[in-house]
Amino acid sequence: MTPMTQNLPHPRRNLANEIVSVLRSDIISGVINPGEALAEPVLAKRFGVSRAPVREAIIELERAGLVQFETTGRTRVRTLEEKDLAEIVETRIALESMGARLAATHWTPEHTLRVQQFIAEQEAATTDEEFSLLDIAMHEYIMKRSGNERLVVLWQYIRWQFEMALTYIHRLQINTAHDLRRFTVAGHWKVLETLAGRKPEAAAKVMSQHIIGSLEWSVTETTEHPPAAGSAPRRGNLAKMKRASRASS
Amino acid sequence: MTPMTQNLPHPRRNLANEIVSVLRSDIISGVINPGEALAEPVLAKRFGVSRAPVREAIIELERAGLVQFETTGRTRVRTLEEKDLAEIVETRIALESMGARLAATHWTPEHTLRVQQFIAEQEAATTDEEFSLLDIAMHEYIMKRSGNERLVVLWQYIRWQFEMALTYIHRLQINTAHDLRRFTVAGHWKVLETLAGRKPEAAAKVMSQHIIGSLEWSVTETTEHPPAAGSAPRRGNLAKMKRASRASS
DNA sequence: GTGACGCAAAGTGTCGACACTTTTTTGGTG
DNA sequence: CACCAAAAAAGTGTCGACACTTTGCGTCAC
């Protein structure tokens, strides 16, 4: 690990935080695979630190749901089954539809401008990664407009799990289908319309449908280019999730 | 230390978990006051252990939102302002209305029986504490019927924050008003009706209204028997919360 | 009396060590 | 060659120690 630039006013847990960032992105991006073991001494050596900060980092990753403690005490990267994907999406809808609802209640024209900019950048994005990053950034922006810090914090954790899941859904799919992009951008316009119109209920509903819709497209596209053996989620639970989506209306 | 009923079987971190249980109940029940400092060496001495498990316990309490890290590194019991109460309730509604929605989709007659039992016990409760514990237990039971573990875990954290907030709202109020009890029990009957009828949307809506309604009663009752100086939430945000409640319909 | 200075106390972040447990390897046996 | 036992290796949980930072307090000059 790069010798930390010290003396920066980080709230607490300096080394641990840096380690968390690295490991989290490793897990989300699939550099470390689900089921893989995370041993404290090994990581300590990798990062050139003692076990203490590594241990704290691992606790934080467990909090985020990216890692799982076994009864023996060992730690593994969490594996994802179909049920997990359903849970993640349901939870994301719960948090994000409430986020959109609250955001709509005190939305301003400046916020509209910012979101329009996000959408424009997304339309101009050249790589899938750029598109995806902008998507997340925009959802985060809207969540923060809710003004509810707790909601944002919980959403962050679910979001990371969602990103991790997407990595495995998309693992064998080289390019994001152009249609998915169009679908996503269209969804964003609809969401923005409800926010700008300060219609909380509509915002919550449209956001739910946008989330479930995007996922359905992703999974559909992926299963057409068949994914990794058995590990990736299939479409079985989508009907249930769609019900949950119509949910928050 | 009094072994608290630990519902989420955390396989790891033994000493830390016991310490978490004790400190959490101390904070929720007001034995340790908001703003009070939690120093690792002091707690280590109190529990007769070294700093390591204490440190992990404190991290867990921060995860639960009961404790806050300052920029200096010190830890204090989180203080609650009016805004915090609004955030907690909004988040609880987001999670619990989704929980009720999901629970309704696979509700069985056995579940109905169990909830009826909860309500009966609540009607028979003699002390406020008993009433309150049964209330929480029932909400937890319904959340678990959602079948979504992630939702339940996030809800647990918010629930502890909610309990902590209630302690401060009710601090000076000796008895739970009988009307509040009646209101609460009536709400539970309504919720059960939607669950038993397997009406997900109605369940979500009724649950939201039940939560916001209970809070409104609590705060009203409390402000009539005036609460501690300035620290307890006032009614300013209730209108906004009520909007958020109608929300999840 | 009051305010600045500086020293002592308290606290956090990190480290290495040790005991105990689980997993893996090894080596002997049928 | 398969199989079990025992030893070795790897890993976790907890401890005490130390450096550095922040806080608290007493002292001294004015």
Residue B150: closest CA among A160, A148, A142: A160
Kindly state the tokens that stand for B220.
């009203």
For the ranges A218-232, B49-63, B213-227, the lowest mean pLDDT is seen at A218-232
Q: Position B5: which residue type?
A: T
Residue A169: closest CA among A207, A103, A215: A215
User: CA-to-CA distance for B224 and B143, rounded, in angstroms?
Assistant: 32
pLDDT of residue B177: 62
B87–A150 CB contact, under 8 Å: yes
Which residues, in sequence order, are bridge partners of residue A223? Answer: none
A149: closest chain B residue by CA: B87
pLDDT of residue A178: 66
Residue B174 pLDDT grade (very low, low, confident, very high; cuts 50, 70, 90): very low
CA distances to A23, A48, A50, A119, B4 from A43, rounded to whole Å, are 10, 8, 9, 39, 34
Q: Is B126 exposed, middle or buried (0-12, 13-18, 19+ CB in 10 A)?
A: exposed
Segment A107-133 shows an average pLDDT of 93
A244/B contact by beta carbon, under 8 A? yes
The CA-based dihedral angle spanning residues B189, B195, B197, B201, taken in that order and rounded to the nearest 10 degrees: 110
Residue A249 pLDDT grade (very low, low, confident, very high; cuts 50, 70, 90): very low
The rounded percent of chain B whose pLDDT value lies above 90 is 67
Residue B82 pLDDT grade (very low, low, confident, very high; cuts 50, 70, 90): confident
Model confidence at B219: pLDDT above 90: no
Model confidence at B239: pLDDT above 90: no
List protein-proximal bases of chain D (any atom < 7 A from a CB).
10-17, 21-23
Cβ contacts (< 8 Å) between B149 and chain A: which residues? 87
Q: Which CATH number fits domain A14-77: 3.30.830.10, 3.40.50.300, 1.10.10.10, 1.10.760.10?
A: 1.10.10.10
Residue in B150, B204, B244 nearest the CB of A87: B150
Residue in B55, B63, B101 nearest the CB of A244: B101
* pLDDT tens string A35-58: 999 999 999 999 999 999 999 999
Residue B219: closest CA among B161, B177, B160: B177
Distance A43 CA to C23 C1' (A): 18
Segment B76-94 shows an average pLDDT of 94
Cβ contacts (< 8 Å) between A165 and chain B: which residues? none
* pLDDT tens string B155-166: 999 999 999 998
Model confidence at A229: pLDDT above 50: no
pLDDT of residue A239: 52
* pLDDT tens string A137-186: 999 999 999 999 999 999 999 999 999 998 887 765 545 566 778 889 99
Q: Is A88 exposed, middle or buried (0-12, 13-18, 19+ CB in 10 A)?
A: buried
Q: Is B95 exposed, middle or buried (0-12, 13-18, 19+ CB in 10 A)?
A: buried
- SS3 percent helix, strand, coil of chain B, rounded to 5, is 70, 5, 30
User: CA-to-CA distance for B163 and B235, rounded, in angstroms?
Assistant: 18
Sequence spans of domains, chain A: 14-77, 82-247
Segment B225-242 shows an average pLDDT of 45
* pLDDT tens string A127-145: 888 998 999 999 999 999 9
Is B52:B14 a contact under the CB 8 Å cutoff? no
Residue B182 pLDDT grade (very low, low, confident, very high; cuts 50, 70, 90): confident
B98–A105 CB contact, under 8 Å: no
Q: What's the number of CA atoms in the CB half-sphere (13 Å) around residue A180? A: 20
* pLDDT tens string A182-219: 889 999 999 999 999 999 999 999 999 999 888 777 66
**Which nucleotide lies at the shortest CA–C1' distance from A50?**
C15
Segment A121-132 shows an average pLDDT of 90
pLDDT of residue B240: 52
Q: Is A223 exposed, middle or buried (0-12, 13-18, 19+ CB in 10 A)?
A: middle
Distance A69 CA to C27 C1' (A): 34
pLDDT of residue B194: 94
pLDDT of residue B7: 31
Is B155:B96 a contact under the CB 8 Å cutoff? yes
Decide: CB of B71 under 7 A of nucleic strand D: no
Model confidence at B180: pLDDT above 50: yes
The CA-based dihedral angle spanning residues A7, A8, A11, A15, taken in that order and rounded to the nearest 10 degrees: -70
Is A191:A100 a contact under the CB 8 Å cutoff? yes
Segment A99-115 shows an average pLDDT of 96
Q: Which CATH number fits domain A82-247: 3.40.718.10, 3.20.20.450, 3.40.50.300, 1.20.120.530?
A: 1.20.120.530
